[in-house]
Amino acid sequence: MNPPDYEYLRKLLKDHSGLDLSADKQYLIESRLLPLSRKCGVSGIGELVQKMRGGSSLIIAQVVEAMTTNETFFFRDRVPFEHFRDTIMPEMLKARAGRKSIRIWCAAGSTGQEPYSLAMSLKEMGAALAGWRVEIIATDLSTEVLEKSKSGIYSQFEVQRGLPIQLLVKYFKQNGELWQINPELRAMVQHRQLNLLHDFSQLGVFDILFCRNVLIYFDQDTKISIFGRLAKAMEGDGFLVLGAAETVVGLTDVFKPFPDRRGLYRPSGARAASPQAATSMPKIAAMAGR
């Protein structure tokens, strides 16, 4: 790949997705875009770029999707889900006892392993959530990964990564070499295509926000901007969960670390929780704990 094509791709990806590639990441573009160029029937990345320069919005969209689709697996990194079970939900059950509703946003839902891991965690709480309504909104830039998430269908390899066998047996149905998560769990997750660079105020206000392993790819100014808008999308006593390599420390003061809980943060503002805040979207989420 020649230097002008690489610089063109770097700028395009930054403008469209926030992905900030350093000058030495040519190998990453080649590993992601060579398979795409074959799929598109062109001879290589140079010809792919030529079509993009010619204004092919379809090729541009496919390139952005190929470069921003990241690997994920069930209960990834384990610790955030322990925080969810042992710290976040117990606090939310007390704080939201008056309205009995909780809104959760997975801001990089990818192929669904994270939102479905949260759904399984909620179902495992059983009677503690009887009568509660819990919404899980999964968003991603890529429509392709959202479609896979909606289907809830995973390969043997995918379900073997991070998913305890007892949860596989309990919540999935096998069909040949594939496994599909059951309809009740799929109904607990709503899907929306969303670019974090754009306005997301239409999603409403959330109690819990998982935004893991996505901001790491953005430059500092973009991170600061997104953190500021995420804070506005959260209840004042809500929880933000970041990836293991991500932090707000040294970037912004709109969130503060939660003591002794790695990767867990709370908004710094003292905005009180509003009983009406959870009503800003249609009530189509499944009741948890039924």
Domain boundaries, the chain: 3-68, 79-152+182-279
- Mean pLDDT score, 32-48: 84
The contacts found for 125-129 with CB under 8 angstroms, 24 or more apart, are: 125/85, 125/89, 125/288, 125/289, 126/289, 127/289, 128/93, 128/289, 129/93, 129/288, 129/289
**Quick check: pTM over 0.85?**
no
Q: Do the two domains 3-68 and 79-152+182-279 of this chain adopt the same fold?
A: no
What's residue 132's pLDDT? 96
What's residue 273's pLDDT? 37
- 207 backbone dihedrals φ, ψ, rounded to 5°: -90, -35
Q: How far apart are CA 69 and CA 214, in angstroms?
A: 10
For a pLDDT cut of 90, what percent of the chain falls above it?
53
Q: 70 or 267, which is more confident? A: 267
Indicate the length of the chain as a whole number.
290
Bridge partners of 130, per DSSP, are none
Ordered alpha helix ranges (H), 125-260: 143-151, 156-159, 165-171, 183-186, 220-232
Strand, helix or coil for residue 30: helix
Instruction: For the beta carbon of residue 82, count every other beta carbon within 10 angstroms.
Output: 14
- Helices and strands in the chain, H and E counts: 12, 10
What's residue 5's pLDDT? 87
- Mean pLDDT score, 239-258: 91
Ordered alpha helix ranges (H), the chain: 3-17, 26-39, 45-53, 57-68, 79-83, 89-95, 113-124, 143-151, 156-159, 165-171, 183-186, 220-232
What's residue 271's pLDDT? 40
Q: 284 or 6, which is more confident? A: 6
Q: 143 or 2, which is more confident? A: 143
Q: Could you read off the pLDDT of 130-153 as tens digits, one per residue?
A: 999 999 999 998 888 899 999 999
Q: Which of 141, 139, 130 is nearest to 97 (CA)?
A: 130
What's residue 65's pLDDT? 76
Most confident of 32-46, 154-168, 271-285: 154-168
- 170 backbone dihedrals φ, ψ, rounded to 5°: -75, -35
Degrees to nearest 5, angle at CA 251 with 250 and 255: 95
- Mean pLDDT score, 30-37: 84
CB-CB contact of 60 with 76 (8 Å): no
What's residue 279's pLDDT? 36
Helices 45-53 and 3-17, packing angle to 10 deg: 60
- 109 backbone dihedrals φ, ψ, rounded to 5°: -65, -20
Q: 86 or 34, which is more confident? A: 86
Q: How confident is the model at residue 219 (pLDDT cuts 50, 70, 90)?
A: confident
For a pLDDT cut of 70, what percent of the chain falls above it?
91
Lowest mean pLDDT among 18-32, 87-101, 251-265: 18-32
Q: Could you read off the pLDDT of 85-126 as tens digits, one per residue?
A: 999 999 999 999 999 999 999 998 999 999 999 999 999 999
- Judge whether residue 26 has pLDDT over 90: no
Helices 57-68 and 45-53, packing angle to 10 deg: 130
Domain 3-68 has CATH 1.10.3470: no
Average pLDDT, the chain: 86
- Mean pLDDT score, 160-164: 90
Overall fold of domain 79-152+182-279: Rossmann fold (3.40.50)
